[in-house]
Chains A and B, each alone.
Chain A
Amino acid sequence: MNNIFSSRAVCGACLSQSVLRWVGIRAPQFGPPLRARARMHTGHGKLTGSGGFYCPKRPQRCLTPQRHVSGRHGGTMNVFDRSMKRRQKTWASRLPEHHEYDYLRDEVGGRVADRVYDVARTFPLALDVGCGKSHIAEHVSKDIVERLFLMDVSHGSLMRKKECEMPTQCVMADEEFLPFRENTFDLVVSSLSMHWINDLPAALRQIHGVLKPDGVFIGAMVGGETLYELRCSLQLAELEREGGFSPHISPYTAAADMGNLLGQAGFNMLTVDVDEVQVHYPGILDVLYDLQGMGESNCAWNRKCLLHRDTILAAAAIYREMYGNEDGSVPATFEILHMIGWKPHESQVKPAQRGSATASFGELSKISQPQTSNKTDKP
C-alpha cells in the first residue's frame, strides 16, 4: 500500500500536524499529539498547497488556511467539517442502542449488494468506502467478493462492524484521501457516506484511480430531494417565528449531476437510478433523534447550532399539517441515488466507427414486408 506519510511521521511536531491538517484530520486541542497514530492517516501524494502553521490552542473557526483542503487549481469546496463528522459518527457508534438506527443503512446496503450480485463476476479484492459498521458485506457471499477492505473516518464505527463471510481489513482514512496505490481493487462500493464528502469530483477521481482497469464502482448516495419535508417545515417555521431561516439540511447532489460527475471522473458505461425510501415517524423530534443516532447530524460549516424551542414547536405543527398521515405519523423521504461506473478497458463495448453501418434507418419500413425484402437497397 502506498504509505508516503510514514516517513513524515518522525518529523517535528508542526510539520506532522500541518500535514495532518492537510489530510483533513484535526488533532485534538488537548491530549497527546497524533504522531503515534499518524501512519493511519495518509495523503495520496498530492500534499501541495501552502496553508499556514497549525496552532493547537486556537479555536477551529478562525483558522482561514484550514478551509482550503488541497492546492488544486480552481479552489476546492469546503462545505463540511470532516472532523466534526468523524466525532458525530464515533458518538453515534458508542450509543448503547446504536443498532436501532441501522435500518436505513441496512436496507440500502442490501440494495447495493443486490447490484453487486447482478455483476456476474468474482472480485478478488474489494473496498468499501465510508463503510460505517459495514452494512453491505453482511449481504455478500464469499464467492463474489474474496477479500474486503473496510474504510471509514470513524474508529468507533469500525470497532462495531458487523460479521461477514469474507476476511476483512479495516482502514481508518478519509474518503477524500484514499491511502491506496493505483490499480489495486476490482470492486469499490460505497453506501450512504458520499454525501458528506467536500470535493466529490476529486473523491470520484481517486476511486477511479484505485480501481483496476475493468473494475467497477457501485455506489449509493443520498441525494436530490432527501428530507424535503423536514427542510420545508424548518424553513417555514423559522421564517414565521424568527423572520429568516438558515440551512439545517446539508446540500445534496441532484440525480442529473451524478451522471456528469461520474463521466468527468473517467468512468464508462454509467448507470444512475433513483430509489425513494420513505420512513414514517411519530413526529418531527423522532426524525431528528433518528438522524442523530445514525450519525447523520449536520456538520456543514454554515450550520446554525441552535434550534429555538418555539421553532421546534412550530416546525412540529407545520410538519404534521403539511405532510402528516391520517394516523398522525409523518413521513421522511430519503432519495437514494444508485450509481454504477466502470473503469475503461479494451474488452468493454465501444461505440461503432462512423461509416461502418451495414443497414439504413430508411429500410425500417421494409421490415414489415418480408416478401419484398429480398431486393435489399444499397445503404
Chain B
Amino acid sequence: MSGVNVWTRSRERMKRFPELFAMCSAEAAVYGKCVVATTAGKQELKKDLCIKEFEALRTCFISAAKQGVK
C-alpha cells in the first residue's frame, strides 16, 4: 500500500498525539486521579464516572490540536 491514503494520513495525525498530550498534562493528571481513586476507594468504576474531567481533557486536547494546525 504505497502513496498517500487514509492510513498514511491518520498515521500522520496520530504522530502529533504525544506533543498535544503534553500540552494537556494538568487535565490529564486530574482525570487520571479520578479514575485511580476508584481502584483504592469503595466506589466501583462505571461508565462515565469521570466524564466531567474527561470532557475537560478532551476539549483541551482538541484546542491544542487546532492551535497546531494553524
Question: By the criterion CB–CB under 8 Å, are B28 and A317 in contact?
Answer: yes
Which of A241, A283, A310, A322 is B18 in contact with, Cβ under 8 Å? A283
Minimum C-beta distance from A70 to chain B (A) = 35
Chain A residue at minimal CB-CB distance from B48? A240
Evaluate whether A240 and B21 lie within 8 angstroms (CB atoms) in the complex, with A310-B54, A316-B28 already known.
no
Question: By the criterion CB–CB under 8 Å, are A320 and B14 in contact?
Answer: no
- Among residues 33 to 69 in chain B, which have CB atoms less than 8 Å away from a CB atom of chain A? 33, 35-36, 39, 45-50, 54, 57-58, 61
Minimum C-beta distance from A100 to chain B (A) = 15
CB neighbours of B33 from chain A (8 A): 321
CB neighbours of B17 from chain A (8 A): 283, 285, 312, 316
Evaluate whether A320 and B28 lie within 8 angstroms (CB atoms) in the complex, with A285-B17, A285-B18, A310-B58 already known.
yes
Evaluate whether A317 and B18 lie within 8 angstroms (CB atoms) in the complex, with A242-B47, A243-B47 already known.
no
Question: By the criterion CB–CB under 8 Å, are B57 and A321 in contact?
Answer: no
Question: By the criterion CB–CB under 8 Å, are B35 and A240 in contact?
Answer: yes
Which of B21, B32, B47, B61 is A318 in contact with, Cβ under 8 Å? B32
Which of A240, A282, A310, A320 is B45 in contact with, Cβ under 8 Å? A240
CB neighbours of B28 from chain A (8 A): 316-317, 320-321
Mask for A319-350, Cβ within 8 A of B = 1, else 0? 01110000010000000000000000000000
Minimum C-beta distance from A312 to chain B (A) = 8
Q: With the chains together, A282 CA to B33 CA distance in Å?
A: 19
Question: By the criterion CB–CB under 8 Å, are B29 and A320 in contact?
Answer: yes
Minimum C-beta distance from B41 to chain A (A) = 13
Minimum C-beta distance from A87 to chain B (A) = 13
Report the count of interface residues on A (CB-CB < 8 A).
Answer: 22
Question: By the criterion CB–CB under 8 Å, are A240 and B32 in contact?
Answer: no
**A227 part of interface (Cβ distance < 8 Å):** no
Question: By the criterion CB–CB under 8 Å, are B61 and A313 in contact?
Answer: yes
Chain B residue at minimal CB-CB distance from A317? B28
CB neighbours of B27 from chain A (8 A): 317
Evaluate whether A320 and B61 lie within 8 angstroms (CB atoms) in the complex, with A239-B47, A283-B18, A285-B17 already known.
no
Q: With the chains together, A322 CA to B17 CA distance in Å?
A: 19
Minimum C-beta distance from B21 to chain A (A) = 6
- Among residues 245 to 303 in chain A, which have CB atoms less than 8 Å away from a CB atom of chain B? 282-283, 285-286
Which of B14, B18, B35, B61 is A236 in contact with, Cβ under 8 Å? B35
Q: With the chains together, A241 CA to B18 CA distance in Å?
A: 20
Output the residue of A242, A282, A313, A328 with the most chain B CB within 10 A: A313
- Add 16 more A-B contacts to A240-B48, A283-B18, A317-B31 (CB < 8 A): A236-B39, A239-B45, A239-B46, A239-B47, A243-B47, A283-B21, A310-B58, A312-B17, A317-B27, A317-B32, A318-B35, A318-B36, A320-B28, A320-B32, A321-B33, A322-B36
Chain A residues close to B by CB (< 8 Å)? 236-237, 239-243, 282-283, 285-286, 310, 312-314, 316-318, 320-322, 328
Chain B residues close to A by CB (< 8 Å)? 14, 17-18, 21-22, 25, 27-29, 31-33, 35-36, 39, 45-50, 54, 57-58, 61
